[in-house]
Structure 1
Amino acid sequence: MTYIGVRKKSFLAENRSWLLSQAGAGPGENPSIILDIASFDAEDHYPEGYIPSGIVLGKITASGEYGPYDATATDGRETAVELLFGSLTIEPGATVVGGAGVHRGEVEPGRLPIESGAGALDAAARQALFLIRFADATTTISTEPAGA
């Protein structure tokens, strides 16, 4: 039977202003990841119904799924391994959601969505994410090859 009722769907305008270049963001460069929704706090991480891109992630040892990086965790999330590449809508009742991670590239820390607590960038996360170059808004990133 065909449904002809009215459906409402909202769309999210992605904000990746924290990503300063396309290095590490090309096709095939972002690994597929699965987020464990129970490891996120709805009030802190997705009060508007979506987990924003740029949140710092750790990998849960027991499941292999990802949750917000938390230096005080003891389940594997105490080590930062990725930044979330794209915002993800959380459907009511969902336990996991698929996405993509960023583990190399150039990022402006001041534009990341979480400033403190679980999912935020701290000194230990900066060290763990050694393939990411963290720069401030005034840093110029050259796209010219070396020696050009």
Structure 2
Amino acid sequence: MPRLTTETFGSGNLAWLGSGHAIGNARTETVNVAAFTEATHYPDGFLRSGQPVAKVAGLLVPYDATEATVTGAGILAGHILFDLKVKGSTNVPAPLLDHGRVVASKVPGAFVKPAAAAKLSATTIVYV
């Protein structure tokens, strides 16, 4: 009898994308899984497509939306393009959307388009 395994994939809701422009041009970055909280960011084992992230010390971490925070985790690096399966605290590669159009109201969580220009300095994203 062959040994069969079952694999689960995320829901892949891409409604947050405002256009298909940047899908083929996402760059690969490494996610610091230990910086994310399982209960908050990936309760079902997946970081959601559209998750806003910042880049600190060369790794993607949760974006700090506090308007006064304009350094480190307070600078938006972009959004994780597709659902990303995470397990434990092992860093994983992920496609990062850092340019294009994004529907802010459809980004997972309570995301609000940053008002401070410094928070958007690492991206060329137009929020619609």
TM > 0.5 fold call: yes
Shift of 1:75: 7.7
More helix by share: 2
TM-score, L = length of structure 2: 0.84
Report the number of matched residues. 125
Residue in 2 that maps onto 1:145: none
Unaligned 5+ residue runs, structure 2? none
CA, structure 1 residues 71+110, in 2 after alignment: closer, same or farther (shift >3 Å)? closer
Unaligned 5+ residue runs, structure 1? 136-148
Which structure 1 residue ranges, 4+ long, deviate > 2 Å from structure 2?
3-6, 71-75, 120-127
More strand by share: 2
Identity %, equivalent residues: 26
Aligned partner letter, 2:10 = L
CA, structure 1 residues 48+121, in 2 after alignment: closer, same or farther (shift >3 Å)? farther
Aligned partner letter, 1:37 = V
Shift of 1:4: 2.3
TM-score, L = length of structure 1: 0.73
Find the partner of 1:7 among 2, 5, 8: 5
Higher relative contact order (CA 8 A, sep 6+): 2
Structure with higher Rg: it is 1
Find the partner of 2:60 among 63, 66, 86: 66
Shift of 1:35: 0.2
CA, structure 1 residues 97+74, in 2 after alignment: closer, same or farther (shift >3 Å)? farther
Residue in 1 that maps onto 2:107: 112
CA deviation vs aligned residue, 1:62-103 (integer Å, no higher than 9, x gap) = xx1111111467982121111111110112x34201111011
CA distance in 1, matches of 2:49, 2:3: 33
Supply the RMSD in Å over aligned alpha carbons: 2.5
